[in-house]
Structures are given as C-alpha cells and as structure tokens.
Amino acid sequence: MSAEVFTPNDVNVTMTPTAVKHVRKQLDKKPEAKGIRLAIRKSGCSGFKYETQWVETPESDDRIFTIDGVDVFVKQEHLPLVNGIEIDFVTEGVNSLFRFRNPNATAECGCGESFTVA
C-alpha cells in the first residue's frame, strides 16, 4: 500500500464529534474495515454527489485523513472538491445521515442531492 497519510493540520477536512462517534460505532461492527471513504461522483442537476463507503483495502491514490482516530480516505483527484469540508452526522425526523458542509460548493440542487464547485 502506498497511500500517503495526512492529518487534519495538513489539510482542511474535519468531522464533528457526532460524526466521529457514528463512524467509530460502525467500524466496531465491521472489523475488516479500515475507515470510511468520502467519494465524489458526477450526478444530479448540480454536477457532483457525495458518497461514503467502508474501506477494507486502501488504494494507491488514496489520501488518508486521520481525524480523532478515524481514518477518512479520499482519492487524490477528489481533494480539490472536498478541501475545507466538514462531515457531520445528523438526525432529521426518523432519518439519520451524513451532512457535508463544503465551503467550496457554489450551488446545490433543490433536493440537496448534488452540488457544484467553481
């Protein structure tokens, strides 16, 4: 594995304590998982969509952000799209989900599914 390790001081990716707690709890149930991936793909009316996946085997182009003991994996090509992001975990009604606060997002679609970065 040749993934390079960064800390939050080297880059600007953060997680709220609630998100860290949630990810740790899920990782405890998935001993094969090394951390969580924040991925970006083209989608929706605004251009890009966030996806999260459990990482069992890091890939060579992964960058690893260790945040309060939780490893967040981001592909090198996605770094400009997530620089400065805060990952939160919220409960809205009966639904619990990750909420992404990206200061680089210049637009979001009405349903919150996708975003644009200028």
pLDDT level of residue 93 (50, 70, 90 thresholds):
very high
For domain 13-116, the CATH architecture is Sandwich (2.60)
With CA atoms as reference, report the closest residue to 1 among 46, 63, 81, 71: 63
pTM for the full model?
A: 0.83
Q: Which run of H or of E encompasses 98?
A: strand 95-101
pLDDT level of residue 10 (50, 70, 90 thresholds):
low
The residue-averaged pLDDT of 78-88 equals 89
Region label for 47, one of left (φ > 0), alpha (ψ between -120 and 50) or beta (otherwise): left
CA-CA-CA-CA torsion sign (17, 94, 51, 59):
positive
AA identity, residue 93: G
Q: Where are the domains of the chain?
A: 13-116
pLDDT in tens, 17-64: 999 999 999 999 999 999 999 998 887 676 888 899 999 999 999 999
pLDDT of residue 5: 55
State both tokens at 20. 């860290």
